[in-house]
Chains A and B, each alone.
Chain A
Protein backbone atom coordinates (compact mmCIF):
# COMPACT_ATOMS: atom_id res chain seq x y z
CA UNK A 1 0.00 0.00 0.00
CA UNK A 2 2.86 2.30 0.93
CA UNK A 3 4.46 1.68 -2.45
CA UNK A 4 1.23 2.61 -4.22
CA UNK A 5 1.05 5.80 -2.21
CA UNK A 6 4.64 6.71 -3.07
CA UNK A 7 4.07 5.96 -6.77
CA UNK A 8 0.87 8.04 -6.67
CA UNK A 9 2.59 11.03 -5.05
CA UNK A 10 5.51 10.71 -7.45
CA UNK A 11 3.17 10.67 -10.44
CA UNK A 12 1.44 13.82 -9.22
CA UNK A 13 4.81 15.48 -8.63
CA UNK A 14 5.90 14.69 -12.19
CA UNK A 15 2.66 16.04 -13.52
CA UNK A 16 3.14 19.28 -11.64
CA UNK A 17 6.77 19.89 -12.50
CA UNK A 18 7.03 18.59 -16.04
CA UNK A 19 4.68 18.41 -19.01
CA UNK A 20 1.64 16.87 -17.30
CA UNK A 21 -0.57 14.61 -19.40
CA UNK A 22 -3.79 15.34 -17.58
CA UNK A 23 -5.74 18.37 -18.65
CA UNK A 24 -4.59 21.08 -16.31
CA UNK A 25 -6.39 24.08 -14.97
CA UNK A 26 -6.20 26.95 -17.39
CA UNK A 27 -3.74 29.38 -15.97
CA UNK A 28 -3.89 32.67 -17.80
CA UNK A 29 -1.29 34.14 -15.48
CA UNK A 30 1.17 31.62 -16.88
CA UNK A 31 0.35 32.48 -20.47
CA UNK A 32 3.39 33.93 -22.23
CA UNK A 33 2.97 37.55 -23.21
CA UNK A 34 2.36 37.99 -26.89
CA UNK A 35 2.46 40.94 -29.24
CA UNK A 36 -1.31 40.85 -29.71
CA UNK A 37 -1.85 41.13 -25.98
CA UNK A 38 0.85 43.62 -25.19
CA UNK A 39 0.17 46.09 -28.00
CA UNK A 40 -3.49 45.80 -28.82
CA UNK A 41 -6.76 45.37 -27.04
CA UNK A 42 -8.52 44.31 -30.25
CA UNK A 43 -10.29 40.95 -30.00
CA UNK A 44 -8.39 38.04 -31.52
CA UNK A 45 -10.08 36.33 -34.45
CA UNK A 46 -9.78 32.68 -33.49
CA UNK A 47 -12.02 31.89 -36.46
CA UNK A 48 -10.72 32.81 -39.90
CA UNK A 49 -12.84 35.56 -41.43
CA UNK A 50 -11.77 34.72 -44.98
CA UNK A 51 -11.34 31.37 -46.73
CA UNK A 52 -8.03 29.80 -45.72
CA UNK A 53 -5.84 28.09 -48.29
CA UNK A 54 -2.99 25.74 -47.41
CA UNK A 55 0.00 26.66 -49.54
CA UNK A 56 3.56 25.36 -49.97
CA UNK A 57 4.55 28.10 -47.51
CA UNK A 58 2.15 26.65 -44.90
CA UNK A 59 3.74 23.21 -45.26
CA UNK A 60 7.19 24.80 -45.06
CA UNK A 61 6.20 26.58 -41.84
CA UNK A 62 4.94 23.30 -40.39
CA UNK A 63 8.23 21.60 -41.31
CA UNK A 64 10.32 24.42 -39.90
CA UNK A 65 8.61 24.81 -36.51
CA UNK A 66 6.01 22.11 -35.80
CA UNK A 67 7.87 19.09 -37.20
CA UNK A 68 10.51 19.37 -34.45
CA UNK A 69 7.99 17.69 -32.12
CA UNK A 70 5.08 16.58 -34.32
CA UNK A 71 7.28 14.96 -36.98
CA UNK A 72 7.74 15.65 -40.68
CA UNK A 73 4.53 13.78 -41.49
CA UNK A 74 2.64 14.97 -38.43
CA UNK A 75 2.59 11.59 -36.75
CA UNK A 76 3.76 12.95 -33.40
CA UNK A 77 7.20 11.39 -33.83
CA UNK A 78 9.48 14.43 -34.20
CA UNK A 79 13.04 14.45 -32.90
CA UNK A 80 11.95 15.82 -29.51
CA UNK A 81 9.05 13.38 -29.10
CA UNK A 82 10.82 10.65 -27.14
CA UNK A 83 12.24 13.15 -24.65
CA UNK A 84 8.89 14.64 -23.70
CA UNK A 85 6.81 13.39 -20.80
CA UNK A 86 3.68 13.93 -22.85
CA UNK A 87 3.85 12.66 -26.44
CA UNK A 88 3.25 15.37 -29.04
CA UNK A 89 -0.15 15.13 -30.72
CA UNK A 90 -0.37 12.82 -33.73
CA UNK A 91 -1.94 15.07 -36.36
CA UNK A 92 -2.89 12.16 -38.60
CA UNK A 93 -5.28 10.60 -36.06
CA UNK A 94 -8.81 11.81 -36.50
CA UNK A 95 -10.25 10.19 -33.35
CA UNK A 96 -9.12 12.94 -31.01
CA UNK A 97 -8.74 15.84 -33.42
CA UNK A 98 -12.34 15.66 -34.61
CA UNK A 99 -13.43 16.32 -31.03
CA UNK A 100 -11.57 19.66 -31.10
CA UNK A 101 -12.74 22.81 -32.84
CA UNK A 102 -10.64 24.96 -35.16
CA UNK A 103 -10.77 27.69 -32.51
CA UNK A 104 -9.16 25.32 -30.02
CA UNK A 105 -6.42 24.48 -32.53
CA UNK A 106 -5.86 28.17 -33.14
CA UNK A 107 -5.61 28.96 -29.43
CA UNK A 108 -3.29 26.01 -28.76
CA UNK A 109 -0.89 27.22 -31.46
CA UNK A 110 -1.11 30.90 -30.61
CA UNK A 111 -1.08 30.69 -26.82
CA UNK A 112 0.43 27.26 -26.19
CA UNK A 113 -0.85 23.96 -24.82
CA UNK A 114 -1.67 25.27 -21.35
CA UNK A 115 -4.11 27.82 -22.75
CA UNK A 116 -6.44 25.07 -23.90
CA UNK A 117 -5.89 22.91 -20.85
CA UNK A 118 -3.36 20.65 -22.51
CA UNK A 119 0.33 19.93 -21.96
CA UNK A 120 2.72 22.83 -21.32
CA UNK A 121 5.25 21.19 -23.67
CA UNK A 122 3.59 22.99 -26.56
CA UNK A 123 4.90 26.57 -26.62
CA UNK A 124 3.00 29.67 -27.69
CA UNK A 125 3.74 30.72 -31.26
CA UNK A 126 1.70 33.93 -31.27
CA UNK A 127 4.69 36.26 -31.44
CA UNK A 128 6.43 34.14 -34.05
CA UNK A 129 3.60 33.39 -36.46
CA UNK A 130 0.92 35.75 -37.76
CA UNK A 131 -2.74 34.97 -37.13
CA UNK A 132 -3.24 34.20 -40.83
CA UNK A 133 -0.34 31.71 -40.79
CA UNK A 134 -1.86 30.05 -37.71
CA UNK A 135 -5.23 29.79 -39.47
CA UNK A 136 -3.43 28.10 -42.37
CA UNK A 137 -1.74 25.68 -40.00
CA UNK A 138 -5.11 24.81 -38.48
CA UNK A 139 -6.36 24.01 -41.99
CA UNK A 140 -3.22 21.97 -42.69
CA UNK A 141 -3.76 19.90 -39.55
CA UNK A 142 -7.30 19.27 -40.77
CA UNK A 143 -5.73 18.03 -44.00
CA UNK A 144 -3.35 15.75 -42.12
CA UNK A 145 -6.09 14.19 -40.00
CA UNK A 146 -8.56 14.23 -42.87
CA UNK A 147 -11.13 15.27 -40.36
CA UNK A 148 -13.30 18.20 -39.37
CA UNK A 149 -14.68 19.17 -35.98
CA UNK A 150 -17.74 17.07 -35.22
Chain B
Protein backbone atom coordinates (compact mmCIF):
# COMPACT_ATOMS: atom_id res chain seq x y z
CA UNK B 1 0.00 0.00 0.00
CA UNK B 2 2.83 2.34 1.00
CA UNK B 3 4.68 1.53 -2.22
CA UNK B 4 1.66 2.50 -4.28
CA UNK B 5 1.36 5.75 -2.35
CA UNK B 6 5.07 6.55 -2.96
CA UNK B 7 4.64 5.74 -6.64
CA UNK B 8 1.64 8.02 -6.93
CA UNK B 9 3.42 10.85 -5.10
CA UNK B 10 6.55 10.39 -7.22
CA UNK B 11 4.46 10.43 -10.36
CA UNK B 12 2.74 13.64 -9.27
CA UNK B 13 6.06 15.41 -8.58
CA UNK B 14 7.44 14.30 -11.93
CA UNK B 15 4.36 15.28 -13.89
CA UNK B 16 3.41 18.50 -12.13
CA UNK B 17 5.84 20.76 -14.08
CA UNK B 18 4.44 19.42 -17.35
CA UNK B 19 0.88 19.85 -16.17
CA UNK B 20 1.46 23.38 -14.96
CA UNK B 21 3.22 24.38 -18.20
CA UNK B 22 0.22 23.34 -20.27
CA UNK B 23 -2.48 24.36 -17.89
CA UNK B 24 -2.90 28.11 -18.30
CA UNK B 25 -4.13 27.85 -21.91
CA UNK B 26 -6.60 25.25 -20.65
CA UNK B 27 -7.45 27.21 -17.51
CA UNK B 28 -8.23 30.33 -19.54
CA UNK B 29 -10.27 28.21 -21.95
CA UNK B 30 -8.50 29.56 -25.05
CA UNK B 31 -9.74 26.55 -27.02
CA UNK B 32 -13.34 27.76 -26.73
CA UNK B 33 -12.59 30.39 -29.39
CA UNK B 34 -9.31 29.22 -30.95
CA UNK B 35 -8.23 26.01 -32.62
CA UNK B 36 -5.21 24.60 -30.83
CA UNK B 37 -4.98 21.63 -33.15
CA UNK B 38 -5.67 21.33 -36.86
CA UNK B 39 -8.07 18.44 -36.29
CA UNK B 40 -10.63 20.36 -34.26
CA UNK B 41 -13.55 22.25 -35.81
CA UNK B 42 -13.06 25.82 -37.02
CA UNK B 43 -13.58 28.35 -34.22
CA UNK B 44 -14.48 32.03 -34.29
CA UNK B 45 -11.04 33.26 -33.17
CA UNK B 46 -7.85 32.96 -35.22
CA UNK B 47 -6.22 29.53 -35.33
CA UNK B 48 -3.45 29.04 -32.81
CA UNK B 49 -2.18 25.59 -33.74
CA UNK B 50 0.77 27.30 -35.41
CA UNK B 51 1.03 30.23 -32.99
CA UNK B 52 4.72 29.55 -32.37
CA UNK B 53 5.43 29.85 -36.10
CA UNK B 54 3.25 32.88 -36.65
CA UNK B 55 3.61 35.34 -33.81
CA UNK B 56 6.37 37.23 -32.08
CA UNK B 57 6.41 36.42 -28.34
CA UNK B 58 6.73 40.07 -27.30
CA UNK B 59 3.66 41.01 -29.35
CA UNK B 60 1.63 38.15 -27.85
CA UNK B 61 2.51 39.34 -24.34
CA UNK B 62 1.40 42.89 -25.13
CA UNK B 63 -1.75 41.80 -26.95
CA UNK B 64 -2.92 39.56 -24.12
CA UNK B 65 -2.63 42.44 -21.66
CA UNK B 66 -4.00 45.06 -24.01
CA UNK B 67 -5.99 43.49 -26.87
CA UNK B 68 -6.19 45.63 -29.98
CA UNK B 69 -8.36 45.12 -33.03
CA UNK B 70 -6.63 43.36 -35.92
CA UNK B 71 -9.69 42.11 -37.80
CA UNK B 72 -11.96 45.13 -37.98
CA UNK B 73 -14.64 43.09 -39.74
CA UNK B 74 -14.26 40.17 -37.31
CA UNK B 75 -13.28 36.60 -38.05
CA UNK B 76 -14.15 35.23 -41.48
CA UNK B 77 -16.46 32.61 -39.97
CA UNK B 78 -18.36 35.21 -37.96
CA UNK B 79 -22.02 35.51 -39.03
CA UNK B 80 -21.69 39.31 -38.86
CA UNK B 81 -18.52 39.35 -40.98
CA UNK B 82 -20.02 40.50 -44.27
CA UNK B 83 -22.52 42.79 -42.58
CA UNK B 84 -19.97 44.85 -40.68
CA UNK B 85 -21.64 43.89 -37.41
CA UNK B 86 -19.04 41.54 -35.97
CA UNK B 87 -17.99 42.19 -32.39
CA UNK B 88 -15.66 39.25 -31.96
CA UNK B 89 -12.49 41.30 -32.27
CA UNK B 90 -13.42 43.60 -29.41
CA UNK B 91 -14.12 40.90 -26.85
CA UNK B 92 -10.78 39.31 -26.11
CA UNK B 93 -10.15 38.77 -22.37
CA UNK B 94 -7.50 40.95 -20.71
CA UNK B 95 -4.82 39.08 -18.79
CA UNK B 96 -2.36 40.09 -16.06
CA UNK B 97 1.30 40.57 -17.01
CA UNK B 98 2.22 37.28 -15.36
CA UNK B 99 -0.51 35.29 -17.11
CA UNK B 100 0.19 37.00 -20.44
CA UNK B 101 3.87 36.05 -20.23
CA UNK B 102 3.01 32.46 -19.36
CA UNK B 103 0.42 32.03 -22.10
CA UNK B 104 2.70 33.68 -24.65
CA UNK B 105 5.39 31.19 -23.67
CA UNK B 106 2.95 28.31 -24.02
CA UNK B 107 1.70 29.55 -27.38
CA UNK B 108 5.21 29.92 -28.74
CA UNK B 109 5.68 26.21 -28.07
CA UNK B 110 2.74 25.31 -30.35
CA UNK B 111 4.28 24.90 -33.79
CA UNK B 112 3.82 22.95 -36.97
CA UNK B 113 6.62 20.47 -37.60
CA UNK B 114 8.87 20.87 -40.63
CA UNK B 115 7.88 24.40 -41.57
CA UNK B 116 10.79 25.66 -43.70
CA UNK B 117 12.70 28.76 -42.68
CA UNK B 118 11.94 30.93 -45.71
CA UNK B 119 13.79 34.11 -44.85
CA UNK B 120 17.20 33.00 -43.70
CA UNK B 121 19.83 35.70 -44.44
CA UNK B 122 17.93 38.08 -46.70
CA UNK B 123 19.47 41.41 -47.59
CA UNK B 124 17.35 44.40 -46.59
CA UNK B 125 15.29 45.89 -49.43
CA UNK B 126 16.92 48.74 -51.29
CA UNK B 127 14.95 51.95 -51.73
CA UNK B 128 14.16 51.00 -55.32
CA UNK B 129 13.07 47.47 -54.40
CA UNK B 130 10.88 48.90 -51.65
CA UNK B 131 9.12 51.24 -54.06
CA UNK B 132 8.62 48.47 -56.61
CA UNK B 133 7.26 45.94 -54.14
CA UNK B 134 4.93 48.53 -52.59
CA UNK B 135 3.53 49.08 -56.08
CA UNK B 136 3.03 45.34 -56.49
CA UNK B 137 1.50 45.04 -53.00
CA UNK B 138 -1.12 47.60 -53.97
CA UNK B 139 -1.62 47.15 -57.70
CA UNK B 140 -0.39 43.77 -58.93
CA UNK B 141 -1.68 41.72 -56.02
CA UNK B 142 -4.34 44.17 -54.73
CA UNK B 143 -3.47 43.37 -51.09
CA UNK B 144 -4.51 46.88 -50.06
CA UNK B 145 -8.15 46.19 -50.98
CA UNK B 146 -8.58 43.88 -47.99
CA UNK B 147 -5.64 44.67 -45.70
CA UNK B 148 -4.83 47.91 -43.96
CA UNK B 149 -1.32 49.10 -44.65
CA UNK B 150 0.69 52.31 -44.45
CA UNK B 151 1.03 54.68 -47.38
CA UNK B 152 4.12 56.71 -48.21
CA UNK B 153 3.00 59.44 -45.83
CA UNK B 154 2.75 56.91 -42.99
CA UNK B 155 -1.06 57.04 -42.95
CA UNK B 156 -3.24 53.98 -42.47
CA UNK B 157 -5.21 52.99 -45.52
CA UNK B 158 -6.82 49.89 -47.00
CA UNK B 159 -9.71 47.48 -46.62
CA UNK B 160 -10.78 45.66 -43.49
CA UNK B 161 -11.94 42.20 -44.51
CA UNK B 162 -8.44 40.80 -43.99
CA UNK B 163 -6.35 41.26 -40.86
CA UNK B 164 -4.70 44.67 -40.57
CA UNK B 165 -1.04 44.62 -41.60
CA UNK B 166 -0.28 48.01 -40.06
CA UNK B 167 1.71 46.43 -37.22
CA UNK B 168 2.60 43.19 -39.00
CA UNK B 169 6.33 43.80 -38.52
CA UNK B 170 5.90 43.59 -34.75
CA UNK B 171 3.17 40.96 -34.74
CA UNK B 172 4.26 38.31 -37.23
CA UNK B 173 7.33 36.25 -37.96
CA UNK B 174 8.76 36.89 -41.43
CA UNK B 175 9.14 33.20 -42.18
CA UNK B 176 5.46 32.58 -41.42
CA UNK B 177 4.41 35.40 -43.78
CA UNK B 178 6.55 33.88 -46.55
CA UNK B 179 5.12 30.43 -45.84
CA UNK B 180 1.56 31.75 -45.86
CA UNK B 181 2.08 33.44 -49.24
CA UNK B 182 3.58 30.25 -50.64
CA UNK B 183 1.07 27.80 -49.27
CA UNK B 184 -1.94 29.22 -47.40
CA UNK B 185 -3.53 25.77 -47.36
CA UNK B 186 -0.89 24.64 -44.88
CA UNK B 187 -2.59 26.86 -42.33
CA UNK B 188 -6.16 27.30 -43.48
CA UNK B 189 -8.50 24.99 -45.35
CA UNK B 190 -10.26 27.94 -46.91
CA UNK B 191 -9.41 31.58 -46.46
CA UNK B 192 -11.09 34.47 -48.26
CA UNK B 193 -7.81 35.63 -49.78
CA UNK B 194 -6.85 34.94 -53.39
CA UNK B 195 -4.13 32.38 -53.93
CA UNK B 196 -1.19 33.55 -56.03
CA UNK B 197 1.65 31.63 -57.51
CA UNK B 198 4.37 34.16 -56.89
CA UNK B 199 8.00 33.75 -57.86
CA UNK B 200 10.17 33.24 -54.80
CA UNK B 201 12.06 36.51 -55.24
CA UNK B 202 8.84 38.57 -55.35
CA UNK B 203 7.27 36.56 -52.53
CA UNK B 204 10.24 37.17 -50.24
CA UNK B 205 10.27 40.87 -51.12
CA UNK B 206 6.56 41.07 -50.35
CA UNK B 207 7.34 39.42 -47.01
CA UNK B 208 10.07 41.95 -46.31
CA UNK B 209 7.74 44.81 -47.24
CA UNK B 210 5.04 43.50 -44.88
CA UNK B 211 7.61 43.21 -42.09
CA UNK B 212 8.48 46.91 -42.50
CA UNK B 213 4.91 47.83 -41.53
CA UNK B 214 5.01 48.82 -37.87
CA UNK B 215 2.95 51.01 -35.52
CA UNK B 216 5.96 53.22 -34.90
CA UNK B 217 5.95 54.15 -38.61
CA UNK B 218 2.47 55.67 -38.42
CA UNK B 219 2.65 59.41 -38.82
| A contacts, CB < 8 Å to B | 17-19, 30-35, 38, 63-65, 67-69, 71-72, 78-80, 83-84, 112-114, 120-125, 127-128
Contact = CB atoms under 8 A, between A and B. Distances in A.
A120 B140 contact: yes
B53 interface: no
B159 interface: yes
Interface centre among B138, B151, B196 (most CB of A within 10 A): B196
Interface string B27-54: 0000000000000000000000000000
A122 B144 CA distance: 10
Interface string B134-149: 0110111110111010
B196 A68 contact: no
B116 interface: no
A19 B196 CA distance: 19
Chain B interface size range: 20 to 34
Interface in B68-98: 73, 81-84
Contacts of B169: none
A33 B200 CA distance: 12
B152 interface: yes
29 contacts: A17-B135, A17-B151, A17-B152, A18-B157, A19-B139, A30-B139, A32-B140, A32-B141, A32-B198, A33-B197, A33-B198, A33-B199, A34-B196, A34-B197, A35-B197, A65-B192, A65-B194, A68-B146, A69-B145, A71-B82, A79-B161, A84-B145, A120-B142, A121-B142, A121-B145, A122-B142, A124-B194, A127-B197, A128-B194
Contacts of B152: 17
Nearest first, the 8 A-B pairs at minimum CB distance are A80-B159, A123-B142, A120-B139, A68-B161, A121-B145, A128-B195, A127-B195, A30-B140
B195 to A, nearest CB: 5
A125 B194 CA distance: 6
Contact of A19 (B83, B84, B145): B145
Q: Which secondary structure dominates where chain A touches chain B?
A: loop
Contacts of A127: 194-197
B82 A63 contact: yes
Interface of B: 73, 81-84, 135-136, 138-142, 144-146, 148, 151-152, 157-161, 190, 192, 194-199
A113 B144 CA distance: 14
Contacts of A78: 82, 161
A133 to B, nearest CB: 13
Given A19-B145, A79-B160, A68 B192 contact: yes
